[in-house]
With several copies, the nearest count.
Chain A
Amino acid sequence: MTPDAGDAPESSSGLPRSAIPFAGTGRDSREPVHADDTADSILGNAELRDLFSAVAVSRAAASRLVALEDAGLVRGAPNRPAFREGGAVGVAHALRPASDGTGDIFAPTFRAAGALERYGLSLDGFFEEHLAGRAGPFREVGTELHHVDLQAGLLAPVVPLGLLVEVVGGMCLGFRMRGEARVGVVCDSDGATSTGAWHEGLVFAAARRCPMVLVVEAGREDEAAARRHSRLESFTEKARGYGLGSASVDGADLSEIVVAVRHAAERARRGDGVQLVEIRYTGVDPLERLRTRMVADEVASEDELATLEARAASRCAAALERVRNASLSGAHDTLPGVYAESERTDRRIWADPGSTQAV
Chain B
Amino acid sequence: MTDQGVPEHLLKTRNQEPVTLLEAISEALFEEMSADDDVFLLGEDIGVYGGAFKVTRGFLDHFGASRVIDTPIAEGGFTGAAAGAAHMGLRPVVEIQFMDFISPAYDVITNYIATSRYRGAGPLPLVIRGPVGGGNRGGPFHSQNVEMAFFHTPGLKIVYPSTSYDAKGLLKAAIRDDNPVLFEEHKGLYRAPALREVLPDEDYVVPLGVARTVREGTDLTLVTYGAMVHKSTEAAEILERDDGASVEIIDLRTLLPMDDEAVVESVKKTGRLLIVHEDTRTGGIAGEIAMRVSETAFEWLDAPMMRVTAIDAPVPYSGSLEDYFLPQTEDIVEAGRYLVAY
Contact = CB atoms under 8 A, between A and B. Distances in A.
Contact, chains A and B (beta carbon distance below 8 A): yes
Contact of B324 (A6, A203, A347): A347
Interface stretch (B11-19, B28-36, B80-88): B80-88
Contact of B80 (A156, A200, A353): A200
Interface of A: 1-4, 6-7, 24-27, 75-76, 132-133, 138-144, 146-150, 156, 158-161, 163, 165-178, 184, 191-192, 194-197, 199-205, 207-208, 225, 228-230, 331-332, 334-335, 337-341, 343-344, 347-353, 355-356, 358-359
Contacts of B247: none
A340 B84 CA distance: 17
A142 B104 contact: no
Ordered nearest first, which 3 A-B pairs have the shortest CB separation?
A170-B84, A166-B80, A200-B77
A196 B101 CA distance: 12
Contacts of A146: 119, 139-141, 317
A166 B108 contact: yes
Contacts of A203: 72, 74, 77
A163 to B, nearest CB: 5
B53 to A, nearest CB: 15
A158 B112 contact: yes
Interface string B62-106: 001111011111111111111111111110100000001101100
A338 B312 contact: yes
B104 A332 contact: no
A335 B313 contact: yes
Nearest to B310: A349
Contacts of B83: 166-167, 170
Interface in B271-328: 281, 292, 294-299, 304, 306-314, 316-321, 324-325, 327-328
A93 B123 CA distance: 29
Contacts of B296: 351, 353, 355-356, 358-359
Contact of B64 (A1, A148, A207, A356): A1
Contact of B312 (A132, A163, A334, A344): A344
Contacts of A208: 69, 81
B104 A159 contact: no
A177 B85 contact: yes
Given A170-B87, A350-B331, A359-B295, 18 more contacts: A1-B60, A2-B66, A24-B65, A76-B317, A140-B316, A143-B120, A159-B141, A166-B80, A195-B74, A196-B104, A200-B76, A204-B77, A228-B48, A229-B72, A340-B123, A350-B307, A350-B309, A353-B294
Contacts of A356: 260-261, 264, 296-297
B107 interface: yes
Nearest to A178: B88
B111 to A, nearest CB: 5
Given A194-B72, A359-B296, A150 B80 contact: no
Interface string B225-241: 00000000000000000
A169 B122 contact: no
A171 B155 contact: no
A166 B81 contact: yes
Interface residues of B, number: 98
Nearest to B72: A194
A150 B124 CA distance: 12
A210 B317 CA distance: 33
A331 B318 CA distance: 10
A142 B179 CA distance: 21
A218 B64 CA distance: 27
A174 to B, nearest CB: 3
A98 to B, nearest CB: 14
B316 A195 contact: no
Contacts of B319: 132-133
A136 B182 CA distance: 32
Which of B73, B177, B307, B327 has the most C-beta atoms of chain A within 10 angstroms of its own C-beta?
B73
Nearest to A331: B320
Given A25-B66, A160-B111, A192-B73, A348 B141 contact: no
Contacts of A161: 73
A27 B89 CA distance: 15
B137 A204 contact: no
Interface centre among A158, A166, A205, A343 (most CB of B within 10 A): A166
Contacts of A335: 311, 313, 316, 321, 324-325
